[in-house]
Structure 1
Amino acid sequence: MASFLLIHGSCHGAWCWRDLIPELEAMGHVARAIDLPSHGSDPTPIPEVTLNSCRDAVLAASTPDTIIVGHSWGGYPISAAAEAQPEAMRALIYLSAYVPLDGMSMVEMRKNGPHQTIVNAVEKSDDGLSYTVHPDCVRDLFYHDCAPEILPFAFARLSPQPIRPQNTPLPLSAKFQKVPKAYIRSTDDRTVPTEYQKQMSDSVPADLRYTIDSSHSAFFSHPRRLAEILNEIEGKL
């Protein structure tokens, strides 16, 4: 069985994997989730958060046997970790996530998408260092197919997202390329356009490209199916 490390996306935390972890454990896997800097219980002040500090949080929690799953923006810190220490993990799995292009920031990647989904949904902080999702947009953006109890649970835990790490270019080399990778595309995603996910998933082998009929938050809407896909991917890595 495998050891999974779960890395959350923008404004989220380790809490978002609440329903997926027991599904993976029921299959005999080990599953852990961490808070990236300034999220969840991590006390890092927003001005101090960088792409490197997010990368280092991933590396600190990984071992050479770890399969790292990155959701959404989480695709960037897991990729940075692979670039820095490819021997520190077994593989990467991108879940509705950004797969970086050499030298591009996540902000640049988002702007290159086929259409923009979050521009009118986010509010920048007064100091310009972070953003939050407008309360009226949270459900439609993240959780439109989730059970009713998910919205209050998540809404109480969403936190500001530091901008600097997402606006930092990530140079990539053969070190990143050598790490095995898989992609899970959400077909009803309103945050990262599903057609853009399909484009990014082309960077992984065809037999390691999967789809799930879900919103951006498959860990809440379809945790069992997501666990089944992760289990199947693990068998191929």
Structure 2
Amino acid sequence: MIFLFQATNAEHFVLIHGSGHGAWCWYKLVALLRSSGHDVAALDMAASGINLQHVLDVPTISNYFRPLMDFMGSIPTREKVILVAHSSGGLAVSLAMERFPDKISVSVFVTALMPGTSLNISTLSQEFLRSQQGSLMDSRYSYDNGANKPPTTLMLGPKYLSVNMYQLSPIQDWSLATTLVRPVYLYTEEDMSRALVLSSKKYGSVSRVYIITDEDKVARKELQQWMIRQNPPDEVVEIKGSDHMVMMSMPNELFDVLLLIAQNYS
């Protein structure tokens, strides 16, 4: 059982989803945070959730990140937010840290990709690919530039979602995901490296907390620990018994951790 108390110091949380997902995947956490008196913005990246752009109209990762950059630009100068990234959302949050360091009190990487000044996106991408076990099952590639060219997008299949991402989540949440996931654009390493240039002066000035999910089959615990060693955050917290979709499988535990982080870093 979880008891909700009105927050004495309301914080502004900004939630960033991972690949193929959208703001919808945070619905449980949004309810918990708002019920306790906090402001919450769950954003859709380009061609995600209910964002109206088509995936093929977002051919660079900078285009994909634009909703977060526009949102951060709209925040008044003296205001600060808590950025919460899930999965590949860590890339968007890392760029926001570089561009808007004075508007962020802390960035929270929830089983998220975490590049940094000592861990470039090329090395991180290669390690992520090496860590993947098994096939993509019923997921489907599209080849919009021709059958002899690299694939352009990937659509995560229902079975893949069930076995690898939602295996410890309520079946209703898996069912929701099967109706709402959208294709993922497969950005090149060159494109990502061009967009994600991070500096110690800006990115490095923002506090970071990493949340490990120990039953994750997408970003396996070994990969999460490797990122932490390569690019040490200020703090590491582990949520035991969670799959990749911790906001679905263990929302109360994630909520509790985020409140503690807000208290310590705001």
Question: What is the TM-score of this pair, normalised by structure 1?
Answer: 0.91
CA–CA separation in structure 1 for the residues paired with 2:173 and 2:157 = 17
1:118–1:191: 8 Å Cα contact kept in structure 2?
A: no
CA–CA separation in structure 1 for the residues paired with 2:26 and 2:142 = 27
Counterpart of 2:199? 173
1:131–1:162: 8 Å Cα contact kept in structure 2?
A: yes
Q: How does 1:30-179 map to 2 (within 5 A)?
A: 30-49=39-58, 50-62=60-72, 63=75, 64-102=79-117, 104-105=120-121, 108-113=123-128, 115-117=131-133, 120-121=136-137, 122-127=139-144, 128-164=151-187, 168-169=192-193, 170-174=196-200, 175-179=202-206
CA–CA separation in structure 2 for the residues paired with 1:118 and 1:29 = 40
Q: Does 1:231 align with 2:259?
A: yes
Q: CA deviation at 1:225?
A: 0.9
Question: What is the TM-score of this pair, normalised by structure 2?
Answer: 0.81
Q: CA deviation at 1:51?
A: 2.1
CA–CA separation in structure 1 for the residues paired with 2:159 and 2:42 = 28
Q: Does 1:12 align with 2:29?
A: no
Query: Once the two structures are superposed, what CA deviation does each residue of 1:105-149 show, in whole Å capped at 9, x if it has no partner?
Result: 37x524314621475344321212211123321111110011121
Counterpart of 1:190? 217
Find the residue that maps to 1:156 and give its secondary structure: helix
Find the residue that maps to 2:48 and give its secondary structure: coil
Find the residue that maps to 1:168 and give its secondary structure: helix
- Taking only aligned residues, the RMSD between alpha carbons, in angstroms, comes to 2.0
Letter in 2 for 1:227: F
| Structure 1, 172-181 or 120-129: larger mean CA deviation | 120-129
Unaligned runs of 5+ in 1: none
Letter in 1 for 2:259: N
Query: Once the two structures are superposed, what CA deviation does each residue of 1:57-92 show, in whole Å capped at 9, x if it has no partner?
Result: 213223341111010000001101111221232221
Letter in 2 for 1:123: R
| Structure 1, 14-23 or 115-124: larger mean CA deviation | 115-124
Q: CA deviation at 1:38?
A: 0.3
1:46–1:129: 8 Å Cα contact kept in structure 2?
A: no
Stretches of 4+ aligned residues off by more than 6 angstroms: none
Find the residue that maps to 1:42 and give its secondary structure: coil
Q: CA deviation at 1:165?
A: 6.8
Q: CA 1:201/1:87 → structure 2, altered by over 3 Å: closer, same or farther? A: same
Unaligned runs of 5+ in 2: 1-9, 145-150
Find the residue that maps to 1:188 and give its secondary structure: coil
